[in-house]
Amino acid sequence: MSSSSCFSSIYQKKKKKKETPKKEMARSISYINGSQLLSLKRRPNIAIVDVRDDERTYDAHIAGSLHYPSSTFSNKISDLAQNVKGKDTLVFHCALSQVRGPSCARRFADYLSEMKEAVDIKNVLILERGFNGWEASGRPVCRCTENPCKNEIP
């Protein structure tokens, strides 16, 4: 019979009216792949953040990337925010971008939404398959010892 549908339509009406707007929108984090990063890299407003730990010293890295090891990431987070002033897009990665990369990206996004001052960062992204995937697909890598790396992706 119709009693239950009547109830649900009342319920729906009520629910529709009471949409409480969220005060602080949680920043969403999305993934990009290597070729998307290559085309993004042509713009000056992007920073790549490598959160691998010791691997960076014996593996190569993506040219132009900053190094913020995941082990000390939380302590350096305000330093990172200073360092990327003026950038609008941050791309995080670790070796595989499965654990450290996403968790540091999340921490940074949370940090941004807690900050009261205005920030320029609009996009927090994670590089799919991390540095290993980048290197495995034959993309250019850099072996300098600078941090931040001063080289550019060719």
Contacts with Zn ion by CB under 5 A lie at: 142, 144, 149, 151
CB of 104: closest distance to Zn ion in angstroms?
20
Least distance between Zn ion and beta carbon 149 (Å): 3
Which residue lies nearer to Zn ion by CB, 44 or 154? 154
Q: Which is nearer to Zn ion, 122 or 143 (CB)?
A: 143
For the bound state, the minimum distance from the C-beta of residue 62 to Zn ion, rounded and expressed in Å, comes to 8
C-alpha 98/C-alpha 53 separation (Å) is: 14
Of the two residues 47 and 149, which places its CB atom closer to Zn ion in the complex? 149
Which amino acid, one-letter code, is at 129?
Answer: R
Among the listed residues 94, 104, 142, 149, the single catalytic one is: 94
DSSP code at position 45 = T
Strands (E), the chain: 29-32, 46-50, 66-67, 89-93, 123-127
Any bridge partners for residue 46, and if so which? 89
Active-site residue flag, 94 = yes
Q: Which helix (H) or strand (E) holds 122?
A: none
Beta-bridge partners for 127: 32
Catalytic site positions? 94
